[in-house]
A and B are shown apart, each in its own frame.
Chain A
Amino acid sequence: MAKKESTFRNMVFTLFLVTLFASSALALIYEVTKGPIAEAKRLKKANAIGEVVPAFDNDPGTEVKKLAIDRDTLYFYRAWTDGKVTGIAVESYTYAGFSGLITIMVGFLPDGTLNDVAVLEHAETPGLGDKMEKDKSFDKTSGESWTTQFEGKDPRNYSLMVKQDNGDVDAITAATITSRAFCDAVQRAYDGLLEVTDELDIDAISGSTRRPNQE
């Protein structure tokens, strides 16, 4: 069989067939993988929530409250046990990172104390800034990682700023910008939490001070 000539009709016809087959194949694969992709994303979020709040018996991923703050949106997830709120997970973000957006999951106890923090997404430098991830900075001998210092702290009397800025947080060595950004995201989560205390039905966090406006 001879090769097809490059006439206008042949070219249009060929390209049409090729793109038709390609798009139908993609549509098929998209339909097949749509479910599992959504499931994988849900699982990732649920794992992060489970990491930062105490034990619960509901599905916090389904109870979402949104709050628009600054340039983006915070997401609040409530964890319950026997009808009592045991913790709030806040999906927070910052644009102050060394390379763009960082999203973290911050866990609070109902009285506003920090329970734990987990990193969801970031593009910080491997080996330096990525030490904010728990397993990247985990020290076998002490059993602690960089985020351990946030656990059990009450933002009312714990300044969420690195020590270089007269705060209480030990910055990651050689990654002060990342540490600052991380604190910014945690602080944003706390600010947001204060605004929706009533709607989330948790103990009032009275007497707490907002971060002084630095601008």
Chain B
Amino acid sequence: MSQWNNFSRGFFKENAVFVLLLGLCPTLGVTTSAFNGLGMGLATTFVLLMSNIVVSIIKRHIPDKVRIPSYIVIIASFVTIVELVMQAYIPDLFAALGLFIPLIVVNCLVLGRAEAFASKNNLITAAIDGMGMGLGFTMALVMLGAVREILGSGSLFGFKFIQGDGMIVFVLAPGAFLALGYLIVIVNKINKKKA
């Protein structure tokens, strides 16, 4: 498998949100605006990339029976690092994402890639996979956030283009499920045509 394939399949063929349906809790929770989606996606990408790298480096030294606890400790450390750094240097974004940053720890996408991919591949391949999967996740979150922001608040990345309110239901929880459902339909339709 070529490295390009390792990178690009995170976007459509094996997109974490639209195809694998992993990590849906932060996906539905934070995507009230495109910018929140972008912030959450990039934070997750960083954790995914770093944990993939570390796991692939130390995979030989971890006995099989304790590999999951070891991976979780590694992932949790990187999440806490992201949390502290965000709090210190981008407090506004941290205030918006709040509760969902610590929840990256239990995002099954991160543990899933560590366990299923990074622990079986070399450093470079694992890093490329982490980057691709993370950016694919980010893309999905930005798409979902953009749809919800346009329909719900009539703005995109904070720039308002209608007066007053949009369809508020799209900013609320039910709108997240609705928008995600339709996006999954569209992405799967495109994927089927390609195959």
Residue positions of A touching B, CB distance < 8 A: 1-7, 10-11, 14-15, 18-19, 22, 25-26, 29-30, 33, 35-37, 40-41, 44, 121, 125-128
Contact = CB atoms under 8 A, between A and B. Distances in A.
Contact of B66 (A6, A22, A37, A121): A6
B171 A18 contact: no
B63 A29 contact: no
DSSP class of A's interface residues: helix, strand, loop or mixed? helix
Contact of B32 (A2, A22, A126): A126
B89 A36 contact: yes
Interface stretch (B9-17, B80-88, B106-114): B80-88
Given A126-B171, A126-B172, A127-B172, A10 B63 contact: yes
B70 A29 contact: no
Contacts of B88: 33, 35-37, 40
Contact of A18 (B74, B87, B152, B172): B74
Contacts of B27: none
28 contacts: A3-B60, A4-B60, A4-B61, A4-B63, A14-B61, A14-B63, A15-B66, A15-B70, A15-B73, A22-B76, A22-B77, A26-B80, A29-B80, A29-B81, A29-B85, A33-B84, A33-B88, A35-B88, A36-B89, A40-B87, A40-B91, A125-B172, A126-B171, A126-B172, A127-B165, A127-B168, A127-B171, A127-B172
Contacts of A19: 73
Contacts of A121: 95
Interface of B: 32, 58, 60-66, 69-70, 73-74, 76-77, 80-81, 84-85, 87-89, 91, 95, 152-153, 165, 168, 171-172
Nearest to A126: B171
A21 to B, nearest CB: 8
A49 to B, nearest CB: 16
A209 B135 CA distance: 59
Nearest to A41: B91
A36 to B, nearest CB: 4
Given A4-B60, A7-B63, A37 B74 contact: no
A11 B165 contact: no
B62 A14 contact: yes
B63 A11 contact: yes
A-B residue pairs, 6 tightest by C-beta: A36-B88, A127-B168, A33-B88, A6-B65, A6-B63, A22-B77
A128 B81 CA distance: 34
Given A14-B66, A14-B70, A22-B73, 15 more contacts: A6-B64, A10-B63, A11-B66, A15-B73, A18-B73, A29-B80, A29-B84, A35-B88, A36-B88, A37-B87, A40-B91, A126-B32, A126-B172, A127-B152, A127-B153
